[in-house]
Amino acid sequence: MVTDPTLAKPFFDEPKNFVYKDIQAIYSHQHPSLFTLPSMDYYKAIRKGVAPAFNSSNLRQSFGRLSMLMTSAVDYIGRKGSGQSVDIYTLATRLTMNAISLSIFGADLGDSADAWETRPKYACLFEPAIKWVIDSAPVPFIRYLTFIPAIRRKQAELRALHAEQVRMVQRLRTCNPSLSSLGGHLLALMDPATGKPLTDGQLEAEMATFFFAGYDTSSSAISWTLALLATHSHIQRQVEAELAGLGLLATPEQPRPRALTWQDLGSLDYLRKVIKESQRLFTVAATGTGRMLTKPMRVGRYDLAKGTLIHIPFNPMHRNPSAWDRPEEFSPDRFDVEGADYLQPDASKDAESSAGAHEGVNSSGALAEDAELHGGNLFQEKLSSQPAAGMDRTERSQIRRYMPFSYGQRNCVGQNLANVTMLTFIATICAKFTLALDPEMGGLEGVKECAVVALTLQPKDKMLLQCTSRSGPAAQAPA
């Protein structure tokens, strides 16, 4: 296990290890996926083929519909009544699943206006199935012991998930998605081994990957970010001030501010830092990545043999005191410094140094292919023009400490959509409501205690927030 950013760096060039094959059964009963494949021709063809669906031009085209989706969710919160509790985790799950549905099919799930706090069918099927696949991964042969009633039930749950994924493929085949959508790009993919379009089985594996990655990670990240804002009133007030400066904040005098636009995303500097800091403290991809060495390697004082399995968990790396000053503190200002995603020459200078040396995973990037919003990436840090003291530019550019979406060629291809979704929804809800944690959650310590790892770091069951309308008389930040 490696949690030191400097020691971890060389391992990212190595292929994924065989552990990923153990969870392949969740995506398809017969085919690997973009997530489970090693870096081979098929993986590269899939990655290259779908990447354009997440560039800024295509995301901008769909932003209007995405924004309407956010508004619908926020309107639901408003209808519940000012100060009422909302299960933000369940709402965010339905929201993000609708967002990925828009990206694939060009249409949302067709939910009723009051369905926001009920878990979507796919999530209800996926979550018990992924738990079963993970639990049985160390001894996968037990999945075939169906004469045992409990195992028979688990396998039936897995088959029900696969049946739903097959129906999703059938929907994709008949919905005629636009060529610029993720669905359009999936249908246009060619298997490099056959030169033919992907089969239904191959499409099932890829669509399941995008659906799970699209809803599970983003819904959890939204929940953690809003919970942190609800428990840090001074930071919530700074977000409020930023929104007010852009004319986006609801007030008693202006209960209907102007709507958030695509162009506004590039101006939400402080909120972007809040999301990044939330992803550092509650890294959704907490378990990190696994690699297998293809050659002997000396790292630090360790000699590692070919075939050694390496585990790089991101959550401990993001809380490593040798890499971060005050690692347990929620401090968005640590990302004020240029290059803050890079390892600092002195971890105690997070908030002081004018230059950094460590970026994580295309960082929390969004819109990575273009140069339209903050250099093309809503969350990407630029290096300062001067090297940090004690480190030359080459060292700075190679050592990374922040990687919420993994790092290198295997980073999350859909991170741009994830970041646009998170930024848009969090801005929209914060513009309309003051957030406070429901007493049932048990304060900040209760939030920490409800974190569970089920492949990703997610709230256990729910995340209850009290949402008070800013346009009413009680629109005050919580004390």
Q: How far apart are CA 17 and CA 23, in angstroms?
A: 12
Q: Residue 283 in contact with residue 315, Cβ under 8 Å?
A: yes
Q: How far apart are CA 14 and CA 407, in angstroms?
A: 12
467 is in an annotated binding site: no
DSSP code for 302 = E
Q: How far apart are CA 478 and CA 468, in angstroms?
A: 10
Q: How far apart are CA 403 and CA 424, in angstroms?
A: 21
CB atoms within 10 A of CB 275: 28
Task: Spell out the SS3 assignment of 186-236.
Answer: HHHCEECCCCEECCHHHHHHHHHHHHHHHHHHHHHHHHHHHHHHHCCHHHH
Cα 56–chain centre separation: 17
Q: How far apart are CA 226 and CA 298, in angstroms?
A: 42
Q: What's the one-letter identity of residue 240?
A: E
Q: What's the one-letter identity of residue 73?
A: A
C-alpha distance from residue 135 to each of 24, 128, 221, 261, 353 (Å): 13, 10, 24, 44, 45
Cα 58–chain centre separation: 19
3-state secondary structure of 237: helix
Please name which of 429, 402, 431, 443 lies closest in space to residue 279, comparing C-alpha atoms.
402
Sheet containing strand 433-437, strands side by side: 84-87, 464-469, 433-437
**Binding-site entries:** 412
**Binding-site entries for heme:** 412
